């Protein structure tokens, strides 16, 4: 995992530092781009125009994954975001995580993330949107935490155009983003307890997630997921069409 520390408030040093850090993953990124062209019908992996998502979520998205060149928003249970990072990096995509200091990369690794393909910019400085713009030039998936902020349409259009031009995906969390191609939401809908001798005792042995996706030009879709057994991974799910 590449961790980039952005210090100070000056924009130019921040940009220079980030570009230097990205140069270290340039070879791997080029390899990912080459694989986009090599994947053909019948081969393992997602189609070249989408990024991999957890198998239980594939039915929610057009094409079975995150469409390259798009902006997607996500809200709700953090385990869903970790699973998206794990699925994309585990399938060979280069991933950058911006502005999410509390996100557990250990949990992502336990879900199958390839941390050699993940760049972490926990503190992006005063303008995280500019950092995300630079990252979209070289990464397959950029996960951007807004810290509760709302992005004006003018800046949102600039980043959407950058993602489209580079066939990258911008996944936005913890904020408001106008004009996203899809909105992904997840909430814990219930808990399961392990064996116990009486009511009110015992440990939580699993949980249920209700996940929904609203995308352009298609009806909303949802899935009910069951996870547990001490492992931070989705075990099963059923898509509602």
Domain contains 215: no
Residue 89's contacts (CB-CB under 8 Å, 6 or more residues apart) are 95, 108, 113, 114, 115, 117, 118, 141
Residue indicated by tokens 């408030």: 9
pLDDT at 29: 46
Query: pLDDT tens-digit profile of 132-144?
Result: 999 999 999 999 9
Query: pLDDT tens-digit profile of 4-53?
Result: 666 544 455 556 666 666 665 553 444 444 344 343 444 455 678 999 99
Query: pLDDT tens-digit profile of 59-106?
Result: 999 889 999 999 999 998 888 899 999 999 999 999 999 999 989 999
Domain of residue 100, CATH code: 3.40.50.300
pTM higher than 0.85? no
Query: pLDDT tens-digit profile of 156-165?
Result: 999 999 999 9
How many Cβ atoms sit within 10 Å of the Cβ of residue 166? 18
Domain contains 121: yes
Domain contains 209: no
User: pLDDT band at residue 188, thresholds of 50, 70 and 90?
Assistant: confident
pLDDT at 41: 41
Phi, psi angle pair for 223, to nearest 5°: -145, 145
Domain contains 223: no
CA distance 70 to 125: 24
DSSP symbol at 58: G
Q: Which two tokens stand for residue 31?
A: 């390899």
Q: Which residues share a beta bridge with 191?
A: 207
Residue 169's contacts (CB-CB under 8 Å, 6 or more residues apart) are 51, 66, 67, 68, 69, 70, 71, 72, 140, 141, 142, 163
Nearest in space to 223 (alpha carbons), one of 54, 89, 85, 4: 54
pLDDT beyond 60 at 114: yes
Domain contains 133: yes
Q: Which two tokens stand for residue 59?
A: 């039915």
Query: pLDDT tens-digit profile of 222-238?
Result: 998 877 654 444 444 55
Domain contains 171: yes
pLDDT at 198: 62
Domain count, the chain: 1
- CB burial of residue 108 (10 Å; 0-12, 13-18, 19+): buried
CA distance 216 to 72: 11
Domain membership of residue 96 as a residue range: 2-181
Inter-CA distances, 28 with 73, 93, 121, 139, 190, Å = 26, 9, 18, 10, 40
Domain contains 156: yes
Stated as kind and residue range, the H or E segment containing 118 is: strand 118-121
């Amino acid at each position: 995992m590449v961790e980039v520390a952005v210090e100070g408030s000056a924009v130019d040093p921040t940009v220079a530092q980030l570009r230097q850090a990205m140069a270290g993953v340039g070879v791997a990124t080029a390899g990912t781009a080459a694989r986009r062209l090599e994947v053909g019908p019948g081969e393992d992996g997602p189609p070249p125009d989408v990024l991999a998502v957890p198998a239980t979520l594939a039915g929610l998205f057009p094409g079975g994954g995150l469409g390259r060149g798009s902006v997607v928003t996500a809200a709700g249970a953090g385990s869903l975001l970790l699973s998206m990072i794990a699925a994309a990096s585990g399938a060979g995509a280069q991933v950058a995580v911006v502005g999410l200091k509390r996100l557990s990369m250990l949990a992502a690794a336990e879900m199958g993330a390839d941390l050699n393909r993940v760049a972490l910019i926990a503190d992006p400085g005063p303008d995280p949107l500019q950092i995300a713009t630079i990252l979209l030039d070289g990464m397959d998936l950029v996960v951007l935490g807004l810290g509760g902020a709302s992005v004006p349409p003018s800046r949102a259009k600039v980043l959407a155009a950058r993602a489209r031009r580079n066939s990258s995906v911008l996944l936005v969390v913890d904020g408001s983003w106008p004009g996203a191609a899809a909105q992904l939401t997840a909430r814990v809908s219930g808990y399961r307890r392990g064996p116990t001798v009486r009511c009110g005792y015992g440990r939580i042995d699993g949980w249920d997630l209700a996940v929904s996706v609203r995308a352009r030009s298609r009806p909303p879709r949802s899935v009910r997921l069951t996870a547990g057994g001490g492992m931070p991974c989705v075990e099963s799910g059923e898509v509602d069409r």
